[in-house]
Amino acid sequence: MYDDRPFGQATATGNVTATQTVDHFDSAGNPVFVTTATSVHDAYGRTTSVTDPNITDAQHPNGAVTTTTYTAAHAGELPSSGHRP
C-alpha cells in the first residue's frame, strides 16, 4: 500500500506505508491479505520507522519496531538525494 491508501488508489508521494501478502483464500476463492510490515516516512520521503506486526511480545504488543534517525553531516546542512549535477 502507498501513502496509507487502499490498493489501486494513486497518490502524489508514493511512500510505501504497508506491505501485504496473501494469507489464504476464502470459500469464494478471493484472496485474504495479511499485513507483514508498516512504515512511516518523514517530509523527505525517507523511512523513519518500520513495524513488523507479526513479531510481538509483552513489551511490543503491536509488533517489533525499527526506527531510523537522520541527521545532517554538518550543522545547517539540508538533506540531499545524493545526486550531484
Q: How far apart are CA 37 and CA 65, in angstroms?
A: 10
Report the mean per-residue pLDDT for the chain.
Answer: 86
- What are the pLDDT digits (tens) for 58-75? 988 999 999 998 887 777
Q: Decide if pLDDT at 39 tops 90.
A: yes
Residue 12: predicted pLDDT: 80
Q: Is the residue at 50 inside a domain?
A: yes
Question: Domain containing 49: what range?
Answer: 18-67
Looking at the whole model, is its pTM more than 0.85? no
The total number of structural domains in the chain stands at: 1
Assess if residue 35 is contained within a domain: yes
Burial class of residue 35 in the structure, from the number of CB atoms within 10 Å of its CB (0-12 exposed, 13-18 middle, 19+ buried): middle
